[in-house]
Amino acid sequence: MGNAQVQNGVAAPSSSSASNQPTVTASTAAAPATAACEVSNAPKKKKICCACPDTKRLRDECIVEHGEDACAKWIEAHRICLRAEGFNV
């Protein structure tokens, strides 16, 4: 590519003959790699602590007020919700 020198991401020709050739800067050379890294179509997965807040709240309130043994239906409802969200519980 001639005698071009790169300083601070900008190609500077060192002779007049190099000015007729296309120059490549650091920003244009890195653009395809940067674009590939930024594109992500993967869905964000919820953390188990943040999934199913309604059934979690009902389950927790029931356990605090009545004890775990009396809240089997709320515990199972929360498990069903978590399974629907993709968790293996």
Which residue type does 87 have? F
Sign of CA dihedral 26, 27, 33, 37: positive
Which residue type does 10 have? V
**Is 49 marked within a binding site?**
yes
Other beta carbons less than 10 A from residue 27's beta carbon:
10
**Is 50 marked within a binding site?**
yes
Q: Which residues are annotated as a binding site?
A: 49-50
Annotated binding site for Cu cation: 49-50
